[in-house]
Structure 1
Amino acid sequence: MIFGTVGTHDQSFNRLLAGLDELADDYDEIVAQVGHSTYRPEHIQWFDFVSESKINEYYQNASVVVGHAGAGTILTALSYRKPLVLMPRRKQYDEHLDNHQLELTEALRDRDDVFVVANVDDLKGAIDKALAHTPTTSESAGELATYLSANIDQMVD
């Protein structure tokens, strides 16, 4: 199962959801958390919000997590050792107040379990790479959390 998530931010991330919806025929199962987005997928399973225990089940059962580049999404996926496809929210599309998610993805580019895409046209290729991924990154989610905590202010500035 591919699990897509846009987090809890109150702006839509319709771009990512539409991209996942277009890929429905390419994969056995895609489930997406759509949050506050206005786009409602027609070809994949979706939900707005669920309990923390239920969302953790989705992370745990996913082969790949596809999401925005929110710190919570990143840390949760990596804590379950799931390959992660990230498409950062962009200010220019009114998906966020600033472009800090671009800086977060830039900080993660060297990890072999994180695949960053700029647009929906690159989603399928990144998902396929993530599905074929063999973990080699030894950095734990705890080490990543420490790094992000120490550097997030610099990334956002």
Structure 2
Amino acid sequence: MIFVTLGSQKFQFNRLLKEIDRLVGEKKIEEEVFAQIGYSDYEPKNYRYKKFLDRDEFSNIMNKCDKVITHGGTGAIISAVKKGKKVIAVARLKEFEEHVDNHQLQIVNEFLRMNFINSVNKIEQLGEIILCIDKCKFEKYESNTKAIIESIDEFINN
């Protein structure tokens, strides 16, 4: 199953939803797709969606899926990578009125550089990336929260 999650910021991401809809409609994506579309006003015709999910709904769908297609938000990417999902990130771009600037390009490129995800620079590449994502070998995410807490604790106590 593919889970599409677009976050909760007040920006649309119709460009991504339309491309996924086209790919499903043309049978280029044959597995189940579910999307959390947020503030997008495009309503998919070929897959199930909901505007917003509560915490439990989000967690249940994240646990069921094996692939995540997401915007270039840090939280969305990290939550999927932590769960060992195959992640395809698509940066929201200012030119399509999807965000106020192109900072998501930097975020996506950094996760790509660290080999945690795959990404799409041109929306027309999405179908190809979905077809090959299962063959991709990514680095396993390991949180360094414990090391940070230990470092702070050591600093405070010395």
TM-score range, shorter chain: 0.7 to 0.9
Residue 108 of structure 1: how far off its partner (Å): 1.4
Partner of 1:97: 100
Larger radius of gyration: 2
Aligned residues: 143
Alignment of 1:33-52 (within 5 A): 33-52=36-55
Picking from 51, 54, 59, the partner of 1:56 is: 59
- Contact preservation (8 Å) 1:91, 1:99: yes
SS of residue matched to 1:23: helix
Picking from 43, 67, 70, the partner of 1:67 is: 70
Identity percentage over the alignment? 27
- Contact preservation (8 Å) 2:82, 2:141: no
Give RMSD over aligned pairs.
1.8
Q: Which amino acid aligns with 1:18?
A: K
> What CA distance in whole angstroms lies between the structure 1 residues aligned with 2:41 and 2:94?
17
Q: Where in structure 1 do 4 or more consecutive aligned residues deviate above 6 Å?
A: none
- For structure 1, the 5+ residue unaligned runs are 147-157
Residue 60 of structure 1: how far off its partner (Å): 1.4
Partner of 1:11: 11
- Contact preservation (8 Å) 1:63, 1:131: no
- Contact preservation (8 Å) 2:84, 2:140: no
CA 1:116–1:27: 2 relative to 1, 3 Å: same
> What CA distance in whole angstroms lies between the structure 1 residues aligned with 2:108 and 2:43?
26
- Contact preservation (8 Å) 2:81, 2:141: no
Per-residue CA deviations over 1:38-77 (Å, capped at 9, x if unaligned) read: 1000011111011111111111111110010111111110
Residue 119 of structure 1: how far off its partner (Å): 2.4
- For structure 2, the 5+ residue unaligned runs are 148-158
Residue 10 of structure 1: how far off its partner (Å): 0.5
> What CA distance in whole angstroms lies between the structure 2 residues aligned with 1:111 and 1:64?
18
> What CA distance in whole angstroms lies between the structure 2 residues aligned with 1:107 and 1:2?
23
